[in-house]
Structure 1
Amino acid sequence: MIENYLVRRFICNRRSSDLNKIFPQLYRQALGQNLEDRVDGIRKALATRGYPSDREFYESLLTSRLYGTGEKQQKAKFVLDTIECAYGHKEPVELEDLTIEHVMPQTITDWWKEHLGEDWETDHEVLLHTLGNLTLTGYNSELSNSSFPQKCNWFASSHLQLNLYFSTTMTWRKADIEKRGEMLAQACLDIWNSFGDRKADERNANSVRGRTPTTVYVLGVSSIVDSWVKVYTTTLDRIAYLEPDKFDELAIKHPNLISSEPRFRRNRQLGNGYYVELNRSAEDIYRFCRYVMDFVGLSDEDWKVDVE
């Protein structure tokens, strides 16, 4: 139960500093109770203390940058290890010496640029560290920046279920990464299943596709919206105002999405004078906004969209 709570919070980028207040309160609350009442009481208490819903957990599994340095890398490895173990191997799997491998590599090569297509820069930046692009291997240094067919040759000799997936995959582009991400996200929902409000999860079970946003919240400030384009521009306007230097960095990293000139197919000018490309799907807008929040160092709790 505690693992469930902590994993969900990590995936959803919840502030770890809050735990310093939560667990001492739980300890005091549990004192004097019998074991059954204690477990039930802790479960109910955790469910009301920043416990992510299935919807939030699933969407974060698709969009969050799980890989990082230090403790973040260790947590990402734990998630992948647990998914692998959940496949139910007949014999124990030695995971200790395995490392995290980015299928689409961290250092982009000319082969990968051509393979990913014209939006390679954005796809690489947004999807690189997401669950769908991560796996486990003992050949990390050998694989390095190899092409996808070369990596598949290595994966073919792997005994891991995580890597058997690649035996039937011919390309590794945005849609392929997202498809695998959805499969692994569903596995995570089964492993760390919700002990929260099931009715609330059911009310929020659908993705952004086919749904209309009504309100976007950025750092607690709400704005009424009626389209995903409005969510996009409102979010970027707010970030540009709060973090102008970070926004400039964002524009440099993504010249195909943000520019000082109106050179896109569909342009919209922000309050700071920059123009943004509007020719994007609801899913792309949602993912990019989540990425932007992480890029500027904000938590998933700082950005939320109400939909209907």
Structure 2
Amino acid sequence: MPHTVKASETQLLKLLAKGSRFVIPIYQRAYSWTEDECDQLMDDIERAGRDPELNSHFTGSIVHVENGLSNLTAEEPNLVIDGQQRLTTVTLLIAALAAVLDGLPEGEREPWKEFSPKKLRHRYLVNSEEEEGSDEYFRLLLSAKDEATLKAIVGRTEPPSDSSERVRQNFERFRERLAKPGKDLAEVCRGLAKLVVVDIRLDRTHDNPQLIFESMNSTGRQLTQADLIRNYVLMGQEPRTQKVLYNNYWRPMETDFAQAAYEKQFDDFVRHYLTVVTGEIPRFGDVYGAFKDYSNLRRERGETTESLVKEMRSYASWYCAVALDHEEDKELAEAFQDLREIKADVVYPLLLELYADYRNGTLDRDDLLSIVGMVTSYIFRRAVCRVPTNSLNRTFSTFTKSIDKSRYVESVQAHLAGLTSYRSFPTDQEFTDSLINHNMYKFQRRSHLLRKLENFGRKERVSIEEYTIEHILPQNENLSQRWREELGPDWVDVRARRLHTLGNLTLTGYNSEYGDLPFTRKRDVRGGFRESPLRLNQGLGTLEAWNEEAIIHRAETLAAQALEIWPRPVLPADFQQSEPRPESAYTINDHPHLSRPVPRALFERFRSEVLALDEAVSETFLKNYVAYKTETNFVDVVPQAKRLRLTLNMPFEMLHDTRGLAIDVTGKGKWGNGSVQIDLTKDTDLGQVLGLVRQAYEFRTAE
């Protein structure tokens, strides 16, 4: 840290008493400690209070910015850079302790010296010399709605209508725990007095709080990428600008997401947003770094921070409409719900751009519905056909490059219909065969499949959550004699082939009544298939037997409906699609070194192993090297006289290479893509090299 930073170990209560005001800047995240973390802190305090041999209990650091390095004074509020969660939680605990002590008989209100309710409040919670209720009155000020709730707790006033749940709940939890019969409050007081922190004070005229903030390894909850981004955007601004940016843009984003969704999904939103505006997919752990790069690029173009945050705000509202069920249009909301049900997060970069065009008038509502339906069909058909999904991120991040926005729907149809190889749109035959023959009981999107089939053609929708899944042919391996006779002499094989297929699955509210009953009993029992109001059970009431033929026939009927629900786009007859350009006209014969026995034999072993990594891996012969990729090259091979020179497309520092086979070629001239080079000879351990190649493959497919 810079030499202007002062760090000292101090008791937390002394820090609170000495610094008359700590302020959490608006750019800090909301208070987020859960009951589990509060319970852990309380356990630590009580353990320290019980142990006479323990003089102190370390609980992390408090980093705060001062105007200068003078001693803390009442005139200078201290901006907390790190440690606000800990500081807030201890403040809530002190307030709860004071409240509990207030309710005790007068002679019991000071369980340990200097720990009466009045002394607790005046030393650690409020500045009694200041006007009651003013900002200066409170020793700790939080941000946004957390502030009003904490003020109400400390000031003992009515909480606001939109109070902070975390602040209120944690205060109540402390109060309930402290008020339990037999609780040794003196033990709690002694433990509080033993809490020790590292007090780190920064000089705002010399230190860079953002750099120090990024480098902190806090013992509290880990900062999310969104936390870092918010601080990066707001920390360097003047206080007045901070308030404008926070109140006009950032706070509305937080409100749209709500606290639970903000904590869980805001990072995902930023990743999708950056994919749209940059055309590159940030890695999950480097969203913050990618955001800084994008922010710097905009700054170099002369754009303001406000324009950046304003853009984010727009995309955030669109993301909430698509991903968090905020859409008000009923049909659009249902279409987005279908995408969420089939877990199609990979389409959000495309969907954000589509929704932006919808909002600005480039794409009308019905066309948006049509495109969302096509994309849903594409994702769902591939899932049913068990097509690997590792290429979909790249597919949808670059999708709009193929769209002619003057003929939006037709160009999307053409693009989807024209996808080839591992990206192709499953045909009707492939989709039907998979629906009829695959195990659909273990299918992750089973509920969506059954819900859509049940509601096919309905105006009055049925909620399938009220029903359970029924195997018409029972799951019990010890089938009754009636079932064995019905299935025929090869009943064991029939059961193995058809038990979990679509034709044998339905919905019922009478699962426990059906049990392992023979088919005709399930059909005729009260509430049986004859009486079922569900469309999935239509036709079952007229059958006399349930065997492989009946199972296949029902599956074919349902598959025909599925083709209408999830149709395959047809290329419009009048849409002129350009001929696909061949990726390469080169072949293995254009690499003379591969005509020699040793390099060729080594190459054949290597290529067979690499192509076996995944059916999505393709091989392309180029003029100077051979490329292996899914959506992006992960390893390139330059054939040489006595070796194969490999280039791995991943950062050198991220490669785990215990044998030291690789060298860093970052910034050096070479054929191929990437920063890692490996020479593979007949004497090199091929298995070890393939392990390194797999790392590059996983690095690229994880994007």
TM-score range, shorter chain: 0.5 to 0.7
Aligned to 1:97: 466
Aligned to 1:106: 475
Given that 1:77 and 1:99 are in contact with CA atoms closer than 8 Å, whether structure 2 keeps it comes out as: no
Given that 1:8 and 1:57 are in contact with CA atoms closer than 8 Å, whether structure 2 keeps it comes out as: yes
Q: Which consecutive unaligned segments of at least 5 residues does structure 2 have?
A: 1-373, 574-611, 616-703
Instruction: Give me the CA root mean square deviation.
Output: 2.6
Amino acid at match of 1:41: S
SS, match of residue 136 in structure 1: strand
Question: Given the alignment, which residue of 378, 386, 395 partners 1:22?
Answer: 395
- With over 3 angstroms needed to count, the CA separation of the structure-2 counterparts of 1:160 and 1:198, relative to structure 1, is farther
2:424 counterpart of 1:50: yes
Question: Given the alignment, which residue of 162, 180, 205 partners 2:554?
Answer: 180
SS, match of residue 17 in structure 1: coil
2:491 counterpart of 1:150: no
Aligned to 1:11: 384
Residues of 1 paired with 2:512 and 2:398: CA distance?
A: 45
1:154-184 deviation line (CA, Å, top 9, x unaligned) = 2223211111211111100011111111111
Residues of 1 paired with 2:393 and 2:492: CA distance?
A: 39
Residues of 1 paired with 2:384 and 2:531: CA distance?
A: 30
Given that 1:53 and 1:194 are in contact with CA atoms closer than 8 Å, whether structure 2 keeps it comes out as: yes
Given that 1:87 and 1:161 are in contact with CA atoms closer than 8 Å, whether structure 2 keeps it comes out as: no
- With over 3 angstroms needed to count, the CA separation of the structure-2 counterparts of 1:115 and 1:53, relative to structure 1, is same
CA shift at 1:76, angstroms?
A: 1.7
Residues of 2 paired with 1:143 and 1:183: CA distance?
A: 24
CA shift at 1:63, angstroms?
A: 1.1
1:194-234 deviation line (CA, Å, top 9, x unaligned) = 215699xxxxxxxxxxxxxxxxxx998xxxxxxxxxxxxxx
- With over 3 angstroms needed to count, the CA separation of the structure-2 counterparts of 1:94 and 1:41, relative to structure 1, is same
Given that 2:469 and 2:506 are in contact with CA atoms closer than 8 Å, whether structure 1 keeps it comes out as: yes
1:10-47 deviation line (CA, Å, top 9, x unaligned) = 221111223233222225655xx64x644433333333
Residues of 2 paired with 1:87 and 1:138: CA distance?
A: 22
Amino acid at match of 1:98: Y
2:565 counterpart of 1:194: no
SS, match of residue 170 in structure 1: coil
Given that 1:156 and 1:167 are in contact with CA atoms closer than 8 Å, whether structure 2 keeps it comes out as: yes
- With over 3 angstroms needed to count, the CA separation of the structure-2 counterparts of 1:181 and 1:24, relative to structure 1, is same
Residues of 1 paired with 2:474 and 2:572: CA distance?
A: 38
SS, match of residue 506 in structure 2: strand
Residues of 1 paired with 2:502 and 2:509: CA distance?
A: 18
TM-score of the superposed pair, with normalisation by structure 1: 0.57
Residues of 2 paired with 1:141 and 1:19: CA distance?
A: 41
Residues of 2 paired with 1:121 and 1:197: CA distance?
A: 45
Q: Which has the larger radius of gyration?
A: 2
Given that 2:504 and 2:551 are in contact with CA atoms closer than 8 Å, whether structure 1 keeps it comes out as: yes
Aligned to 2:280: none
Amino acid at match of 1:179: H
- With over 3 angstroms needed to count, the CA separation of the structure-2 counterparts of 1:29 and 1:197, relative to structure 1, is closer
Amino acid at match of 1:103: I
- With over 3 angstroms needed to count, the CA separation of the structure-2 counterparts of 1:67 and 1:196, relative to structure 1, is farther
Amino acid at match of 1:184: L
Residues of 1 paired with 2:543 and 2:387: CA distance?
A: 34
Residues of 2 paired with 1:45 and 1:94: CA distance?
A: 35
Equivalent positions of 1:1-308 (< 5 A) are: 1-26=374-399, 29=402, 34=405, 37-47=407-417, 48=419, 49-68=423-442, 72-73=443-444, 75-89=445-459, 91-108=460-477, 109-110=479-480, 111-153=482-524, 154-196=528-570
Residues of 1 paired with 2:441 and 2:530: CA distance?
A: 24
- With over 3 angstroms needed to count, the CA separation of the structure-2 counterparts of 1:198 and 1:60, relative to structure 1, is farther
- With over 3 angstroms needed to count, the CA separation of the structure-2 counterparts of 1:157 and 1:40, relative to structure 1, is same
SS, match of residue 16 in structure 1: coil
Aligned to 2:686: none
- With over 3 angstroms needed to count, the CA separation of the structure-2 counterparts of 1:197 and 1:14, relative to structure 1, is farther
Residues of 2 paired with 1:196 and 1:9: CA distance?
A: 17
SS, match of residue 156 in structure 1: coil
- With over 3 angstroms needed to count, the CA separation of the structure-2 counterparts of 1:41 and 1:123, relative to structure 1, is same
CA shift at 1:143, angstroms?
A: 2.2
Residues of 2 paired with 1:196 and 1:123: CA distance?
A: 37
Residues of 2 paired with 1:118 and 1:198: CA distance?
A: 51
Given that 1:77 and 1:100 are in contact with CA atoms closer than 8 Å, whether structure 2 keeps it comes out as: no
- With over 3 angstroms needed to count, the CA separation of the structure-2 counterparts of 1:38 and 1:142, relative to structure 1, is same
Given that 1:133 and 1:177 are in contact with CA atoms closer than 8 Å, whether structure 2 keeps it comes out as: yes
CA shift at 1:140, angstroms?
A: 2.4
1:270-296 deviation line (CA, Å, top 9, x unaligned) = xxxxxxxxxxxxxxxxxxxxxxxxxxx
1:119-158 deviation line (CA, Å, top 9, x unaligned) = 1111111111111111111222332322211221322232
Residues of 2 paired with 1:172 and 1:83: CA distance?
A: 21
SS, match of residue 466 in structure 2: coil
SS, match of residue 135 in structure 1: strand
Given that 1:51 and 1:196 are in contact with CA atoms closer than 8 Å, whether structure 2 keeps it comes out as: no
Amino acid at match of 1:151: K
CA shift at 1:92, angstroms?
A: 3.1
Amino acid at match of 1:76: R
TM-score of the superposed pair, with normalisation by structure 2: 0.26
SS, match of residue 546 in structure 2: coil
Count matched residues. 194
Q: Which consecutive unaligned segments of at least 5 residues does structure 1 have?
A: 200-217, 221-308
Between 1 and 2, higher relative CO (CA 8 Å, sep ≥ 6) is seen in 1
Residues of 2 paired with 1:193 and 1:107: CA distance?
A: 36
Residues of 1 paired with 2:572 and 2:474: CA distance?
A: 38
1:239-267 deviation line (CA, Å, top 9, x unaligned) = xxxxxxxxxxxxxxxxxxxxxxxxxxxxx
